[in-house]
Chains A and B, each alone.
Chain A
Amino acid sequence: MPIRSVPQRGIARLLVHAWPAVLSVTTLVLAWEAYVQLSGISPTALAAPSRVLVQGFEQRHALASHTLATLQATLLGFSCSLGAAFLFSLLLDFFRPLRRALFPVFIITQTLPLVAIAPLVVLWFGFGLTPKIVLVALVTFFPMLVALVQGYDSADHDIEALLASMGASRRRIFVAARLPSALPYFFAGLRISITYAVVGAIFAEYAGSVRGLGIYILNAKNNFRPDLVLAAVFVSATLTLCLFGATILLQRVTMPWTRLVERKP
């Protein structure tokens, strides 16, 4: 019998790659459901997945509007962070001594505990969108900056020397060699940071807000509704996964040369 060597595409390939994950998650959810049903634990302590699903569905309009607020804060904050990280990465690449001056400051921003800083940011900027943007930017700026700076440095020295021998300027070498070399690092940073961004936004909302998943979770907790807390957690996890997926999609579009099958003549 001939072996089928036709590459699998789309859904079929996805299923082949995803089944271990699907299996493990399904097992986990089933075990959780079984435990709640069999132990008779109070739903105010631990809600069964089925209850989370039903209650979450009933609350879908509230959840959707709060999710939208969180998404907005996440994307706005992350965009600001990306812009700032890119500007600073340029600055640090073209003016080397600045690295030693600024990196310690940036590292310190990473040591600030979110629990302490979130209420302060709310205190300074109020209950609107601003504190969320600030907090999301604060947690994602540094990973993005490090990714970019390291990415520039990863540029092949031979390519840089070649460009120099052709008479390329420093700026030209940056655009032609260092910037494209940073792309894989940029996307690695993006994947990590986008998950931080969602957590950062929810934390900011938790510390004080009118809308958003963070404040929804706080209210659900105060009303002894762990099922709704879990429903919101489920939504935020889904949101993060979607954003994560979007970065992978973006990478595939931006870096077509990395997903090529080696077809050597």
Chain B
Amino acid sequence: MSLARLELKSVSKRFGELEVLDDISLSVSRGEFVSILGPSGAGKSTILQLLTGALRHDRGEILCDGAPLESNSHRFAFMPQRDALMPWRRIIDNATLGLEVQGMTRAAAREKVQPLIAEFGLAGFERHYPSQLSGGMRQRVALLRTVVQQRSMLLLDEPFGALDALTRARMQRWLSGMWTHHNWTVLLITHDVREAVLLSDRIYVLSPRPARILRHYDISLSHPRPPAGDPMLSAIEADILQTLLTLEERPCRTFVPL
């Protein structure tokens, strides 16, 4: 049996009195697209911070290819919610940032990124500054910056949250195609049910804080997924949405004073 690329075993995290993650277990296999879906403030981003090394978990285990995750290992390439492009760097130099941090010279990094520019729909914009690009293009630059780092896994934190609905739909389709082509291992954090269903092999649904895994869905439909409105996808979407909505109606178990 092959080891999971990433495995969380009963991971918990609390900030003082505030319990954020409670007994989170999930796994991501090599080449899999896995989403974590949950309401706002559930602690989705906390999971990412544990993985990027910004935070340490209190209990449980985080395994990467079977070995415990070291806090300074930088095994994951992280794409933040907002694109976080540097306004003073040209597109090509924003894309090479991760490689430069790894110690590559700027020239070598550019050479490595250049062949991917066209595939990411950025041909002709290499010398532009981020402020000259549309939201969708900026997000593609951010993804390019993420994937060229060649880490073992991509962590995407609501990457399309700030885009308008049409651009978002387009970007989701595009990402799906790119993923199929490149065989990346992806962990996506999102609160968009449709996005999760469209892209993922498996979805973990989180409860509100303290976050637990409520359910997980294995979506065995092949990629590329059928267009929006497909009955199979709609059925899964409806089911997940129902799960989330039922949660909202439940009264809060604990009152957390501000």
Residue from B80, B86, B125 within 8 A of A180 (CB atoms): B86
User: Which of chain B's residues have a CB closer than 8 A to the CB of A161?
Assistant: 52, 54, 80, 84
Q: With A and B bound together, what is the CA distance between A262 and B131 in angstroms?
A: 7
Which listed segment binds A: B94-102, B181-189, B217-225?
B94-102
B216 at the interface (CB under 8 A from A): no
Residue of B nearest to A169 (CB): B101
Can you list, as one digit per residue, whether each of B83-105 has a CB less than 8 Å from chain A (1) or not (0)? 01011100000000110011000
With contacts A158-B80, A166-B149, A167-B72 known, is A264 near B132, CB below 8 A? Answer: yes
B129 at the interface (CB under 8 A from A): yes
Q: With A and B bound together, what is the CA distance between A9 and B165 in angstroms?
A: 39
A97 at the interface (CB under 8 A from B): no
Dominant SS at the A interface? helix
B170 at the interface (CB under 8 A from A): no
Q: Are B74 and A167 in contact (CB under 8 A)?
A: yes
- Which residues on B are within 8 Å of A, measured CB to CB? 52-54, 72, 74, 76, 78, 80-82, 84, 86-88, 97-98, 101-102, 125, 129-134, 137, 149
User: Which of chain A's residues have a CB closer than 8 A to the CB of B97?
Assistant: 162-163, 166, 176
User: Which of chain B's residues have a CB closer than 8 A to the CB of A176?
Assistant: 86, 97, 101
Q: Are A158 and B81 in contact (CB under 8 A)?
A: yes
Q: Are B101 and A166 in contact (CB under 8 A)?
A: yes
Dominant SS at the B interface? loop
Q: Are A172 and B101 in contact (CB under 8 A)?
A: yes
With contacts A257-B129, A260-B129, A264-B132 known, is A166 near B74, CB below 8 A? Answer: yes
How far does the Cβ of B83 sit from chain A's closest Cβ, in whole Å?
A: 9
Q: Are A159 and B133 in contact (CB under 8 A)?
A: no
Q: Are B88 and A255 in contact (CB under 8 A)?
A: yes
Can you list, as one digit per residue, whether each of A142-164 has a CB less than 8 Å from chain B (1) or not (0)? 00000000000000101101111
With contacts A156-B84, A159-B84, A177-B86 known, is A165 near B52, CB below 8 A? Answer: yes
Q: Are A257 and B134 in contact (CB under 8 A)?
A: no
Scan residues 229-265 of chain A and give those whose CB is less than 8 A from a CB of chain B: 255-257, 260, 262-265
Q: With A and B bound together, what is the CA distance between A262 and B130 in angstroms?
A: 10
Q: Are A158 and B84 in contact (CB under 8 A)?
A: yes
Q: Are B76 and A165 in contact (CB under 8 A)?
A: yes
Q: Give 7 CB contacts A-B under 8 Å.
A: A158-B81, A162-B84, A164-B52, A164-B54, A165-B76, A166-B78, A257-B131
Residue of B nearest to A172 (CB): B101
Q: Are B88 and A183 in contact (CB under 8 A)?
A: yes
Interface size class, chain A: 20 to 34
A168 at the interface (CB under 8 A from B): yes
User: Which of chain B's residues have a CB closer than 8 A to the CB of A257?
Assistant: 87-88, 129-131
- Which residues on A are within 8 Å of B, measured CB to CB? 156, 158-159, 161-168, 172, 176-177, 180, 183, 255-257, 260, 262-265
Residue from B53, B88, B102, B134 within 8 A of A264 (CB atoms): B134
Residue of A nearest to B83 (CB): A158
Q: With A and B bound together, what is the CA distance between A225 and B56 in angstroms?
A: 75
Residue of A nearest to B52 (CB): A165
Q: Are A167 and B101 in contact (CB under 8 A)?
A: yes
How far does the Cβ of A194 sit from chain B's closest Cβ, in whole Å?
A: 23
User: Which of chain B's residues have a CB closer than 8 A to the CB of A183?
Assistant: 88
User: Which of chain B's residues have a CB closer than 8 A to the CB of A255?
Assistant: 88
How far does the Cβ of A1 sit from chain B's closest Cβ, in whole Å?
A: 32
Q: Are A265 and B137 in contact (CB under 8 A)?
A: yes
How far does the Cβ of A139 sit from chain B's closest Cβ, in whole Å?
A: 30
How far does the Cβ of A95 sit from chain B's closest Cβ, in whole Å?
A: 22
Give 4 A-B pairs besides A159-B84, A262-B131 with Cβ atoms closer than 8 angstroms.
A164-B54, A183-B88, A257-B87, A264-B132
Q: With A and B bound together, what is the CA distance between A159 and B87 in angstroms?
A: 11
Residue from A158, A165, A177 within 8 A of B53 (CB atoms): A165
Residue of A nearest to B121 (CB): A265
User: Which of chain A's residues have a CB closer than 8 A to the CB of B82?
Assistant: 158
User: Which of chain B's residues have a CB closer than 8 A to the CB of A262?
Assistant: 131-132
With contacts A165-B76, A167-B74 known, is A260 near B98, CB below 8 A? Answer: no
